[in-house]
Amino acid sequence: MAENKTAKTQTKKPAKKPVTKKVRQTGKAKVGKPKKGLNRRTALITGASAGIGHDYASLLAEQGFDLVITARRKDRLQSLADRLEASYGVNIHIFPEDLSDPRAPTRLVENITKEGLSIDFLVNNAGYTVPGNFDMAKWQSHADMLQTMLTAPTELCHLIGIGMAERGYGRIVNMASVAGLLPGAPGGTLYGPVKSYLIKFSQALSAEYHDKGIHVQALCPGFVLSEFHDIAGNRDQMNRLPKFMWLTGPDVCRKSYESVMENKGPIVVNGLFYKILGTAVKILPSNLATKLLSLHNRNAKPLPRDIRDPASQTDKAL
């Protein structure tokens, strides 16, 4: 299990201009502008060791947020923290966690509290897919994915949202996907359903929190250049897709940040192509859309580590 350790304690705080109440509450600070609207607010980003989480952490540091970053790979988190602290003078805490461990969210929040911090901006980003059809992969792989991408973000919203509501300020970004807006498709079977859940959950939370100063967003990018498809083992196949289907992490994060600060949403879809796709599936009869999406299985091949072992108690046929 990953050890919990604070990377650096807060030694000094860079001088900041005083913040007007109006800017604080409306969160109108624009990306790239001075950090006057965010006087030492703290953000928690899960899955910050790579890809979109790494880019979100960089953007929030640039905006003047102190950060708590988590993922399993501590070395990656440490080098990100070193770089961002040197570039932006913000304070960064590292709490490595494997979010497939059901105790991880509580442990993470306990460690944050022990440091005397409270979270103002939560980015529930950590995620991956389990390639292969549903019954090709062992149950434990599915269970770990559900814990990491469904239960953990939900629990973090619960643990952290209560404090945000008490303080009357919060920003929550739940990393969903365009996949969550589309009908279920073969291969990586639970990925779309998990992302659909995050979208509905964010909508409900956004409605509940609308008068509590908390803005909630379900972020729905299409394909983003990151390590995601290397981990899924389908990089070669994905490289055949046309360029217009690819988004970049910094663009995705910037759009998300601007939208959540201005309380646009709760659903934010990145990229014109994916906006059209999202609209098209609403217009098409859902059974037709399901058939069309089932024509191709991009995630057909399970990873060796996920392959079901018919001899194991949990994986054998009944």
Among this protein's residues, is 191 annotated catalytic? yes
Phi, psi of 104, rounded to the nearest 5 degrees: -60, -45
The one catalytic residue in 169, 191, 197, 274 is 191
| Nearest CB to ligand NAP, comparing residues 163 and 233 | 233
Contact 124, 218 (CB under 8 A): no
| Nearest CB to ligand NAP, comparing residues 51 and 266 | 51
Check residue 23 and report its DSSP letter: H
Sheet holding 214-220, edge to edge: 92-94, 66-70, 42-46, 121-124, 170-175, 214-220, 267-269
| Nearest CB to ligand NAP, comparing residues 38 and 44 | 44
Q: How far apart are CA 135 and CA 244, in angstroms?
A: 33
User: Least distance to ligand NAP from the beta carbon of 298, Å?
Assistant: 11
Among positive and negative, which fits the CA dihedral 131, 135, 137, 143?
Answer: positive
Q: How far apart are CA 196 and CA 191, in angstroms?
A: 9
Q: How far apart are CA 47 and CA 126, in angstroms?
A: 4
Q: How far apart are CA 122 and CA 128, in angstroms?
A: 19
> Token pair 């790494």 is at which residue?
54
User: Least distance to ligand NAP from the beta carbon of 118, Å?
Assistant: 22
| Nearest CB to ligand NAP, comparing residues 95 and 169 | 95
| Nearest CB to ligand NAP, comparing residues 212 and 275 | 275
Both tokens assigned to 137: 């992969």
User: Least distance to ligand NAP from the beta carbon of 155, Å?
Assistant: 13
| Nearest CB to ligand NAP, comparing residues 29 and 44 | 44
User: Least distance to ligand NAP from the beta carbon of 207, Å?
Assistant: 23
Burial (CB count <10 Å: 0-12, 13-18, 19+), residue 13: exposed
Indicate the pairing of strand 42-46 with strand 121-124. parallel
Segment (H or E) for 171 = strand 170-175
User: Least distance to ligand NAP from the beta carbon of 99, Å?
Assistant: 4
User: Least distance to ligand NAP from the beta carbon of 33, Å?
Assistant: 26
- Which residues make up the interface to ligand NAP (CB under 6 A)? 47-53, 71-73, 76, 97-100, 125-128, 148, 175, 177, 221, 223-224, 226-228, 231
Residues annotated as catalytic (active site), given as ranges: 191
